Amino acid sequence: MESNNNDYGKIIRNVGLLLGIPLLVIVALYLVMNSRATVDKTLYSDIVSYFEENTVEKYTLDLGNGALTLTLRDQYREDFNKDGKVDESDIIKYTVPDVGLFLEDIRELVNDANRDDNPNNDVESDYHPVGEMPWIINLLPSLLIIVIFVGMWVMMRRSLSSIDGGKAMGFGKARVKQPADEKRKTTFADVAGKKKSYVKSLIF
């Protein structure tokens, strides 16, 4: 009985490992793919106010992950990168929570600045397209599920085989002895002999 308990304990541990490792991989991939580096605690309203006050000279926006970089006009720049000097390398980095909402909020502000007669008010813009994910990333969840089920089936089969020597998994191959096999076969001679003895009993 103690050996059976140990075998079942091994099954539980193996299944736990089989389920735990893929789950850790899925969680790690989710965190990597959805992580957004926040450079500072800049508020969204502060970003929009830069456009409202017409202090933005140019900006770059990644339409996929929402990464935004702002370059302010000369008179509004500060030493953002803490290198001891103020130049074009002093940019503001921010990740917008919703790309569509951000574009809607700044569209009219940028258009108004670019439509006036003063070229010094123009705002340059650059957009990075949404990058396509590799096809293997899209198939990864399905592949992990298939690996989990196949691994569980293999481990359960091996564990049951080690418990009873493979009898549990081989029950379909057992030879069932039919009741007809146990009966003695009746021949013609047996029937003829019984008939003769019955006739003699009637005569005598």
Under 8 Å between Cβ of 129 and 65 = no
Computed over every residue of the chain, the mean pLDDT equals 74
Residue 15: the pLDDT is 64
- Read off the pLDDT of each residue in 56-84 and give the average, rounded to a whole number: 89
Contacts of 197 (CB under 8 A, 6+ apart): none
Looking at residue 183, the DSSP 8-state letter turns out to be S
Q: Where are the chain's structural domains?
A: 1-35+132-166, 44-128
Q: Higher pLDDT residue, 94 or 160?
A: 94
Q: What is the pTM of this model?
A: 0.48
Q: Higher pLDDT residue, 38 or 175?
A: 175
Under 8 Å between Cβ of 67 and 51 = no
Q: What is the pLDDT of residues 170-198, one digit of tens each?
A: 555 555 555 555 555 555 555 555 555 54
